[in-house]
Chain A
Amino acid sequence: MRDRYPEPGEMSVRRLVELIGQKLLITSATGETGFSRLVGSPDINRPGLALTGFTHRFLHDRIQIIGETEITYLSSLDADGRVRAVRNLFQFPVYCFIVTKGFEPPAEIVAEAVDSDCAVFRSPRDTTPLIHDLTGYLSEVFAPRKCVHGTLVDVFGVGQLVTGRSAIGKSEAVLGLVERGHRLIADDVVRIRRTGEELLGTGDAILGSHMEIRGLGMVNVPVLYGIRSVKDRHTVDIEVRLVDWNQKPDFDRTGLDRSSTTYLGVRLPQIILPVLPGRNIALLLEVAAMTFLLERRGVDIPAELDMKLIERMREPSGG
């Protein structure tokens, strides 16, 4: 799956620098040493105790963050002590080091790192926010994911995954939404990854902003509608499944019985929308998004209507 994230197996230190180096404000203290080393896990580790020689539980298969605690500890040692402390870490094949808070990476770490082909970075950023950004990004890279045949569009801030059989009119419907000012994330192929209890959708890095419209061929959405018509990624909040309108319809007539579906173990509200020539699907998708927003605020229109109706039937006059 080639989307806007690298394959987990391609996540080298070099890719890390290319992808979020600017956000983390990291610069290398060791040139390109260790840049081909692979980052195999989204977690980080503070080496802390391992510097003291307690390496029994040292989580070496992590990016190692050297913050103020480690720096202060190291500067409390004499030069020999620092070398011994640092060598405790380099017994293991760590991914790389990031020294935070603008501290200059200790010379002993840099020397050992160059010897063992390992990168050391420095960053002026505070430790905790840097860790949040780093693990946030890496957990997206390493997240469980799948590829869905459908179209993802941001409608009033609601990530709508529009699915349905080939040629049922997904792309045309979404083009209608784009025309109305909504934003396309991905057409035809949506990569979904799970981060926590949330689903995040992206498109293919190159194909993402193109759509195929039968009879017209490939169209480039931002070229036609401007840069505001596309978006790199969005949460997937609801699935709208377009189905053929057959002679024996069995779809929700009231909205009282909402169905749901599951992607990567996350429950997603699902609307089954029958398609018929003349139905303005883009308009219906907008209403579906607004209904979703109302429900998320605890406003359930069908249930309210039902209550009013029951109330009316209770009146002695019988309405």
Chain B
Amino acid sequence: MYQKTVLVPNRLGVHARPAALIVKKAALFDCDITISTGVEEVNGKSIMGVMTLAAGQGTELLISASGEDEVPAVDELCALVASGFGED
């Protein structure tokens, strides 16, 4: 198990488009991935799950993974969130 936290930087937060980017990225890895806001924890490969988080700007996300490729999975997902999904 490998995990890291990251802040949601973009103004609109994790709405549908960022959620789609997260699950697409997550689907590239074989490991199990969960994302948590502290309130809720969801499967990182489920778009409905990731949207349920309603993670607005400034929310701290805990991204956890377990499996063969857990380290690159968590690192790349954190980098994606930190990038602000190409939004302001």
Where the two chains meet, the residues of A that have a C-beta atom closer than 8 Å to any C-beta of B are 248-250, 252-254, 256, 302, 305-306, 309-310, 312-314, 318-319
Contact = CB atoms under 8 A, between A and B. Distances in A.
Given A305-B51, A313-B12, A313-B57, 5 more contacts: A249-B27, A254-B47, A302-B16, A306-B15, A309-B54
Contacts of B61: none
Contacts of A314: 56
Given A309-B15, A310-B13, A313-B13, A253 B47 contact: yes
Given A253-B24, A253-B47, A306 B17 contact: yes
A186 to B, nearest CB: 35
A252 B13 CA distance: 20
Given A248-B28, A249-B27, A254 B13 contact: no
Contact of B54 (A253, A256, A312): A312
B55 interface: yes
A256 B14 CA distance: 14
A135 to B, nearest CB: 47
Contacts of B28: 248
Contact of A309 (B23, B24, B51, B57): B51
24 contacts: A248-B28, A249-B24, A250-B24, A253-B20, A253-B23, A253-B24, A253-B47, A254-B17, A256-B16, A256-B20, A305-B51, A306-B15, A306-B17, A309-B15, A309-B16, A309-B51, A309-B54, A310-B12, A310-B13, A313-B12, A313-B14, A313-B57, A314-B56, A318-B54
Interface residues on B, range: 10 to 19
A248 B25 CA distance: 9
Nearest to B37: A318
B36 interface: no
A116 B40 CA distance: 88
Contact of B16 (A248, A249, A305, A319): A305
B4 to A, nearest CB: 21
Contacts of B55: 313
Ranked nearest first, the 5 interchain pairs of A and B with the lowest CB-CB distance are A313-B56, A319-B54, A306-B16, A253-B20, A313-B13
Nearest to A306: B16
Contacts of A248: 27-28
Contacts of A306: 15-17
A27 B34 CA distance: 77
A131 B16 CA distance: 52
B66 interface: no
Given A248-B28, A310-B12, A254 B54 contact: no
B59 A254 contact: no
Interface in B17-59: 17, 19-20, 23-24, 27-28, 47, 51, 54-57, 59
A12 B19 CA distance: 60
B24 A310 contact: no
Given A248-B28, A310-B12, A313-B13, A254 B19 contact: yes
